Amino acid sequence: MTAYRPPHIAASEITPERFFLNRRTFLATAVGGLVLGGATAARAAVLQALPSPYKLDEAMTPEEDVTSYNNYYEFGTGKGDPSANSGSFKPSPWTVKVDGMVGRPKEFGLEELLTFPLEERTYRMRCVEAWSMVIPWIGFPLAALLDKVEPLGSAKYVAFETVVRPEEMPGQAGYFQPLEWPYREGLRLDEARHPLTILSVGLYGRTLPNQNGAPIRLVVPWKYGFKGIKSIVRISLTETPPPCTWNLVAPNEYGFYANVNPAVDHPRWSQATENRIGEGGFFGANRRDTLPFNGYGDDVASLYAGMDLKANF
């Protein structure tokens, strides 16, 4: 397989050093904003990020839509529930345990995670429900974190788990539960190490709001949105495919790979077209064709050479 090489960054696009906060100020600002809890407080902390070659010549989705129209069942099943019900969630202090088939398992504190070089990357994001957004994420490659723990040769997959806090996440409380907690997701190791795969700590220049997965979440832009697990507390490397929440709940509807594929319909609706949120309203008539791999086919199609992408959906 040909090695993936991101576009060359011109010297003119590199942010001058004078525009960066020093590390101590940066961490105090970012972590301090998260300590306050509440979605509004978490968004107040400004993040300094390098410019990135991963940009799109497309209009970004309005921030108000990105932060108010979400799937995050830990806070409720309605699209407005996450922003309405996440104010009591406390995204700091925070740790992420990385273990499994690694040479150097480690628990990373939020402060250390925020020292990874951050980039702002504008990605298309596509939901299996046939709507899409364009979002300016701030984060760092997942591969950079995996390198710190030295994956073993036997490791083939990466498993993720989200936090369980029913006292702060009302969607996890009560007798009726739509899902089994913790929420789980997984990738193949080569998918996890791909340069497009990031761990995001912010969007629109600020720390992640609670409703968007504070303080750290996964972003894999060529896959449907349910792969983007939020509020991650554990990452484990495994030899076999890990269990994934929606694949367990409805395996005929949600596959392990979840690659955006307009030729594979959801059993209850078509994936051939999508509605870009912010263009003509949430249910507007201005639909567009869905792109294979969400438009990232030139970058990632080689990962699936020889696979039947209808059987492995």
Q: Is the pLDDT of residue 207 over 70?
A: yes
Over residues 141-164, the pLDDT tens digits come to: 999 999 999 999 999 999 999 999
Q: Considering the chain, what percentage of its residues have pLDDT values greater than 90?
A: 80
Residue 242 corresponds to which tokens in the numbers above?
Answer: 């890990």
117, amino acid identity: P
| Residue 67, domain member (yes or no) | yes
Confidence of residue 286 (pLDDT cuts 50, 70, 90): confident
Which helix (H) or strand (E) segment holds residue 299: the answer is: helix 297-300
| Residue 6, domain member (yes or no) | no
Higher pLDDT: 208 or 18? It is 208
The residue-averaged pLDDT of 176-180 equals: 92
| Residue 309, domain member (yes or no) | no
| Average pLDDT score over the chain | 88
| Residue 3, domain member (yes or no) | no
| Residue 1, domain member (yes or no) | no
Least confident of 22-31, 51-60, 120-129, 174-183: 22-31
Q: Is the pLDDT of residue 262 over 60?
A: yes
The range of the structural domain enclosing residue 30 comes to 11-304
| Residue 43, domain member (yes or no) | yes
Over residues 21-68, the pLDDT tens digits come to: 444 444 444 554 444 344 444 445 899 899 888 989 999 999 999 999
| Residue 227, domain member (yes or no) | yes
pLDDT at 155: 98
The residue-averaged pLDDT of 123-127 equals: 98
Instruction: Please name the residues in contact with 293: beta carbons below 8 A apart, sequence gap of 6 or more.
Output: 222, 259, 260, 261, 299, 300, 301
**Residue matched to tokens 């788990």:** 161
Q: Please give the Cα distance from 34 to 38 (Å, whole number).
A: 8
Over residues 3-24, the pLDDT tens digits come to: 434 444 443 334 444 333 444 4
| Residue 117, domain member (yes or no) | yes
Confidence of residue 283 (pLDDT cuts 50, 70, 90): low
C-beta pairs of 144-147 under 8 Å, 24+ apart in sequence: 144/116, 144/117, 145/98, 145/108, 145/113, 145/116, 145/199, 145/235, 146/98, 146/192, 146/193, 146/237
Tally of domains in the chain:
1
pLDDT at 67: 97
Higher pLDDT: 7 or 237? It is 237
Report the CATH number at residue 162: 3.90.420.10
pLDDT at 245: 98
Residue 102 corresponds to which tokens in the numbers above?
Answer: 């690694």
